Amino acid sequence: MADIKRTHNCGALRIGNDGATVTLKGWVDSRRDHGGLIFVDLRDREGIIQVVLNPEIGQIAHQHARDIRSEYVIEVTGKVSVRPDGTVNDNLPTGKIEVYVDELLVLNRSKTVPFPLDGSEDISEAMRLKYRYLDLRRSEMQKKIAGRAKLVSIIRSFLDSNGFLDIETPMLTKSTPEGARDYLVPSRVAPGKFYALPQSPQLFKQLLMISGFDRYYQIAKCFRDEDLRADRQPEFTQVDMEMSFMSSDEIIEIMEELFVLVFKEVKGVDIPRPFPRIKWHDAMLRYGKDAPDTRFGLLISDVCDLANQAEFNVFKGVLKNGGVVRGLAAPGITGYSRKDMDNLTEEAKIHGAKGLAWVKIMEDGAYNSPITKFFPDGVLDKIKERLGAKDGDTMLFLADSEDVVCAGLAHIRLHLAGKQGLIDDSKFDFVWVTDPPAFEYKPEDKRYVAIHHPFTTITKETREHLETDPTKTLTDAYDIVLNGTEVGGGSIRIHERELQDKVFRALGIDEDEAREKFGFLLEALEYGAPPHGGIAIGLDRLAMILTGSESIRDVIAFPKTQKAFDLMVDAPSDVSPIQLRDLYLKPTIKPKKD
RNA sequence: GGGGUUGUAGUUCAGCUGGUUAGAACGCCUGCCUGUCACGCAGGAGGUCGCGAGUUCGAAUCUCGUCAACCCCGCCA
């Protein structure tokens, strides 16, 4: 077989190449056979170019071209020529030229592909995942995967030039309490014992700081065995970073620099600095969640005091039981029918709310609601003022536990913003969410759990509560939120042994357990651990937003389904009894009969 | 673990209130065609209606179960 070198990429040719003899290699995007002339659109990573097979120019090539089909891999050699008048295709960047083929070689044939690769139809995701290598051949996916690669490249060069060292940490490591469920790997040489795949390189990067590497980063795979969502995969990638002798302000600053650079280079967008910051408690109050979408208003307000003045048992009862009443002013829905309001109520119920109270303010300022009768004169006016509502708005209220109210109103807020077209898709709104509480009480487990992770330092001002009321403690932590999606988070870590002990104690981890699970860290803290902190960026989520994708699956070459199956390789799968025996494992669940 | 949407030709879908032989577009196959680029023209093949029960004289259609994909709650940073 003649082994001629490729001279150009298909999509790279332009009118300046006129007259050149080129050799191209790529896939047959389409073939238009006119009996005499045959036109082939030849495609590679860079794009598409039309090649022309004319029996008068290359008779044998023309013969071969009659047998080629879509997705055949071919090599053509021929001359680049300006297209004749009236045959220019403005839809193609290469549309002013074409290649007259002298020689054509079929490098490989292709079966008819199971779905069109031209983006003309929305193919089911199951089909795309089964034939992922074909799905990835589509230009849309090529762009997304290439966009991700560019993002990684920008991040790497930024961090490299800022003194960060790329250091790898183990994949086979130790299961730790707290956090997500671990993926476990059985040990062959230690019967009955298991490694865990890392949920993140958290402890290792802290140890690297203790080793004195000062600045570390890693594009790190992380594993969490929890149920999936559009923005959650069982294995995902973090840009993991850690820095010594840096305050949270300094870390935030360098991260802003990185994000600004990324958006400039990838999107050509200038993001103004400094990014806004909001305290965690304020985010929860005003947006109902710790990852606020700040591209639009519809802010939430607390109206407990005013709601308590109404003779409305739903509100009174909730407030008596320690719950809250909060609301927001929604524009443009006074025309909603009873049924529309019921549908809106259903949205609130998704997050556990029992009902949704509403008061329409008509254009003339009159209140229209089933519950106006419970409010003494003037109270609704005060509520209207508190919510910043205008005539024509509808005030929506939830009354329940704080968790339910926050989650419900956050959902309503997003739902309405989407429906009313309040979200500007071209916007990129960053916000730092800072100072979250360290602990959350889990009534079902009757214990405190760490909101971030148990190595996050407690702010000096709130340390006094650590042993009395841990929920009152705040952490020196910061999440970076982009358009309502958390794309990263970090904190200043604990570098003092005594504080770490206290935090473990607050979490109900006794000394023995702490020594068993984290002994290496506790000991390391006693050998000159420097003050340090860091952050991890969710690379998949960032790539998702930068490429305008609906799901992180679109920016992961080989993702898993919602059940964590790989439809292409068919994993997870059975293993042989011998493999199990080597690992001293015995399945406890019998496979289902087919 | 739970709620919702979907599942019909290779693909994307239509198929009403159960009724004779389940359709369309694209794709595929054969032939014709020297300026197409969503090529065109003529002809053709292609179906276990996700799977399993049930109701019925009769099920793509109704009921129950089950499997899968997606969205969400719980879970998860």
Are both A235 and A304 inside the same structural domain?
A: no
Q: Complex ipTM, two decimals? A: 0.94
| Overall average pLDDT of the A544-556 stretch | 97
Q: Is the peptide bond preceding residue A443 cis, with omega within 30 degrees of 0? A: no
Residue of least CA–C1' distance to B2: A350
The domain tally of chain A equals 3
On whether both A348 and A394 belong to a single domain, the answer is yes
**Does A593 have pLDDT greater than 70?**
no
Measure, in angstroms, how far nucleotide B54 C1' is from residue A379 CA.
60
Distance measured from the CA of protein residue A130 to the C1' of nucleotide B22, in angstroms: 28
Same domain, A95 and A166: no
**Is the domain of A22 the same as that of A78?**
yes
Q: Between the CA of residue A547 and those of A141, A255, A325, A542, what are the distances in Å?
A: 10, 20, 39, 9
Residue A594 has pLDDT above 80, yes or no: no
Query: Which CATH number belongs to the domain containing residue A379 in this structure?
Result: 3.30.1360.30
Distance CA A538, CA A219 (A): 10
| List of E strands, A123-199 | 165-166, 184-186, 194-196
Q: Domain boundary residue among A423, A454, A477?
A: A423
Within-domain flag for A468: no
Residue A26 and residue A95 in one domain: yes
Q: Are strands A393-400 and A324-331 parallel, antiparallel or unpaired?
A: antiparallel
The pLDDT of residue A510 is: 87
Do A56 and A181 fall into the same domain?
Answer: no
> What confidence tier does A245 reach under pLDDT thresholds 50, 70, 90?
very high
Closest residue, CA to C1' of B32? A35
Tokens coding A312 = 């409305």
pLDDT of residue A591 exceeding 60, the answer is no
In this structure, the answer to whether residues A178 and A95 fall within a common structural domain is: no
**For A479-504, what is the mean pLDDT?**
96
If residue A20 lies in a helix (H) or strand (E), which one and from where to where? Answer: none
* pLDDT for A256 beyond 60: yes
State the average pLDDT over residues A493-521. 92
Kindly give, in sequence order, each residue whose CB lies less than 8 Å from that of residue A240, ignoring residues fewer than 6 positions away.
A200, A201, A205, A216, A217, A218, A219, A220, A534, A536
* Partners of A167 in the β-ladder: none
Q: How far apart are CA A399 and CA A406, in angstroms?
A: 10
Only one residue has tokens 């829905």, namely A333
Residue of least CA–C1' distance to B13:
A121
Q: Name the nucleotide nearest A90; use CA and C1'.
A: B37
Residue A446 in any domain: the answer is no
Judging by DSSP bridges, how do beta strands A447-450 and A439-442 pair with one another? antiparallel
Question: Are residues A417 and A541 both part of a single domain?
Answer: no
Residue A529 predicted with pLDDT over 90: yes
- Nucleotide nearest residue A84, measured CA to C1': B35
* Amino acid A140 CA to nucleotide B16 C1' distance, rounded Å: 38
Residue range A578-588: average pLDDT? 90
The separation, in Å, between residue A88 CA and nucleotide B35 C1' comes to 10
> Do residues A584 and A534 both lie within one domain?
yes
A15: in domain: yes
**Which pLDDT tens digit goes with each residue over A349-407?**
999 999 999 999 999 999 999 999 999 999 999 999 999 999 999 999 999 999 999 99
Mean of pLDDT values over A220-243: 97
pLDDT for position A43: 97
Distance in Å from B43's C1' to A25's CA comes to 35
Distance A350 CA to B3 C1' (A): 9
Sign of the CA dihedral running A410, A412, A414, A417:
negative
Residues A90, A154 share a domain:
no
Nucleotides of B under 7 A from a protein CB: 1, 10-13, 26-29, 32-40, 68-77
Query: pLDDT at residue A2 above 80?
Result: no
Q: Does the residue A266 lie in any domain?
A: yes
Instruction: Give per-residue pLDDT as tens, A301-324.
Output: 999 999 999 999 999 999 999 999
CB of A321 closer than 8 Å to CB of A450: no
Is A192 inside any structural domain? yes
Q: Are residues A36 and A81 in the same domain?
A: yes
- Which of A76-80, A114-118, A174-178, A295-299 has the lowest average pLDDT? A174-178
For position A103, which CATH number holds?
Answer: 2.40.50.140
Please state, rounded to an integer, the average pLDDT across all residues of chain A.
94
Q: How far apart are CA A360 and CA A34, in angstroms?
A: 66
Same domain, A191 and A313: no
The per-residue pLDDT for A589 is 61
Q: What are the pLDDT digits (tens) for A153-209?
A: 999 999 999 999 999 999 999 998 778 999 999 999 999 999 999 999 999 999 999
Q: Residue A590 pLDDT > 70, yes or no? A: no
User: What was the pLDDT predicted at A450?
Assistant: 85
**CA pair distance A76, A79, nearest whole angstrom:** 10
Instruction: For residue A204, give the CATH number of its domain.
Output: 3.30.930.10
Answer whether residue A1 shows pLDDT above 80: no
In this complex, the residue with its CA at the shortest distance from the C1' of nucleotide B6 is A124
Beta bridge partners of A99: A51, A80
Domain that holds residue A382: 296-423
Asked if residue A277 is part of any domain, the answer here is no
pLDDT score of A87 more than 80: yes
Assign A494 to helix, strand or coil: coil
Q: How far is CA A363 from CA A298, A360, A367, in A?
A: 19, 9, 10
**What pLDDT shows up at residue A121?**
87
Would you say residue A428 lies in a domain?
no
Residue A65 in this model has a pLDDT that exceeds 90: yes
Boundary residue ending a domain (A423, A445, A467): A423
pLDDT of residue A447 exceeding 90, the answer is: no
Q: How many residues does chain A have?
A: 594
Give the integer Cα–Cα distance in Å for A383 and A326: 10
Last-in-domain residue among A387, A408, A423? A423
Q: How confident is the model at residue A592 (pLDDT cuts 50, 70, 90)?
A: very low
User: Residue A558 CA to B8 C1' — how many Å?
Assistant: 29
Whether residue A466 is contained in a domain is answered as no
Model pLDDT, residue A452 = 85
